[in-house]
Amino acid sequence: MTDVPKPRKGPLKVKNNGFLSIFPLGTGGAFSKKLYQNNYLLIKGDEHLLIDCGARTPQAFFELGFPITGVENFLITHSHADHVGGLEEVALMGRYMTKRRPSMVITPQYERILWTNSLKGGAAYNERRNNKLLAFDDFFVPIYPQPSTRLDRQGWSLQFRGFDLFMFRTMHIPDSTPSWKQSAYSIGLVVDNRFFFTGDTRFDPTLVDEVMGSFPIEVAFHDVQFFPGGVHASFDEISTLPGDFKKITYLMHYPDTYENQESKVLQAGFRGFVQQHSYYDFTKP
Ligand SMILES: [Zn+2]
Ligand SMILES: [Zn+2]
């Protein structure tokens, strides 16, 4: 078995020696106050890609000595504020301060949702051009992935700046839906065929089964909550997943009180909690 990446502390740098590295800007759940939100910077060589940009993410970057305006590439998993709440700042700072349009890897389907339901209110009305409001592509350069049937659910793939991205639908909200099909748009990712990122999802053993059967995954980050019901996978549910999966899996999107759960998590066979502001490096190509 290949080595599972372990957390390594270090100052934030958006370039590295060329191997994939994952840097959590935050690892907390939607309402955590001691942790930042569950957003991840992927770094590889001279390139980077930010997965999600929550309301507190620009602050997290600031604390780490890097301006959010320096982030060139975004990918958004879904529209909860802990994943999109920082994007208006990115959009307005880009258009009016740095005069730059960052790229966003996004499906046409989600571009409409993200713009109309979240960003338009704060972004579209700042200018009138030929009597028209501003639009999504006045702020971001959309990069569209190709539909992919690699899993038995809606998915897309894209080679982007050295990252091999596979995006798949998840079953997050509402809590009553039997599958991803009836759920609101939310996605997870497989990066470079080796990093499995569930995004926000309820317990979905079929997803774990399919991804682990289709990709040579070396490490997984799975969301967790420590109570039953709700819109995330509960600890009791994911504890029933196969041992081979749990031993390469770190838990993310957890509450401020996570330390009380640490021994339970290790006992269940998981690798532990993802640590924010640490690098998870792949050391082999
Ligand atoms: Zn969330
Ligand atoms: Zn969510």
Phi–psi pair at 244, nearest 5 degrees: -60, -35
Give 18 Cα–ligand 2 centroid separation in angstroms: 31
Give 199 Cα–ligand 2 centroid separation in angstroms: 8
Query: Among all ligands shown, which has an atom nearest to the Cα of 57?
Result: 1
Query: Among all ligands shown, which has an atom nearest to the Cα of 55?
Result: 1
The neighbour count for residue 203, using CB atoms within 10 Å, is: 21
Give 130 Cα–ligand 2 centroid separation in angstroms: 37
- CA angle 250–254–255, rounded 5-degree value: 150
Give 68 Cα–ligand 2 centroid separation in angstroms: 22
Give 281 Cα–ligand 2 centroid separation in angstroms: 26
Give 131 Cα–ligand 2 centroid separation in angstroms: 36
Distances (CA, A) of 170 to 122, 201, 207, 218: 28, 6, 8, 20
The average confidence (pLDDT) of the chain is 97
Gap between the Cα atoms of 249 and 110, Å rounded: 28
Give 222 Cα–ligand 1 centroid separation in angstroms: 12
Query: Among all ligands shown, which has an atom nearest to the Cα of 32?
Result: 1
**Is 75 a domain residue?**
yes
C-alpha count within 13 angstroms, C-beta hemisphere, residue 55:
12
pLDDT (0 to 100) of residue 2: 67
Q: What is the pTM of this model?
A: 0.97
**Is 190 a domain residue?**
yes
Give 98 Cα–ligand 1 centroid separation in angstroms: 29
Give 169 Cα–ligand 2 centroid separation in angstroms: 13
The count of structural domains within the chain is 1
Q: Is the pLDDT of residue 106 over 80?
A: yes
Query: Among all ligands shown, which has an atom nearest to the Cα of 83?
Result: 1
Query: Among all ligands shown, which has an atom nearest to the Cα of 202?
Result: 2
Q: Is the pLDDT of residue 118 over 60?
A: yes
Q: Is the pLDDT of residue 143 over 80?
A: yes
**Is 3 a domain residue?**
no
Show the domain range for 88.
12-281
**Is 55 a domain residue?**
yes
DSSP string over 15-44: --SSS-EEEES--B-TT-SSS-BS-EEEEE
The neighbour count for residue 146, using CB atoms within 10 Å, is: 10
**Is 177 a domain residue?**
yes
**Is 6 a domain residue?**
no
**Is 77 a domain residue?**
yes
Instruction: Name the pLDDT band for 1 (thresholds 50, 70, 90).
Output: low
Phi–psi pair at 276, nearest 5 degrees: -70, 155
Return the C-alpha torsion angle 176, 201, 110, 80, nearest 10.
Answer: 90
Instruction: Name the pLDDT band for 189 (thresholds 50, 70, 90).
Output: very high
Query: Among all ligands shown, which has an atom nearest to the Cα of 30?
Result: 1
Give 162 Cα–ligand 2 centroid separation in angstroms: 27
pLDDT (0 to 100) of residue 285: 82
Looking at residue 26, which CATH number applies to its domain? 3.60.15.10
In the chain, what percentage of residues exceed pLDDT 90?
A: 97
* Averaged pLDDT for residues 119-127: 98
Give 272 Cα–ligand 2 centroid separation in angstroms: 21
* Averaged pLDDT for residues 92-114: 98
**Model pLDDT for residues 51-71, shown as the tens digit of each residue:** 999 999 999 999 999 999 999
pLDDT (0 to 100) of residue 178: 93
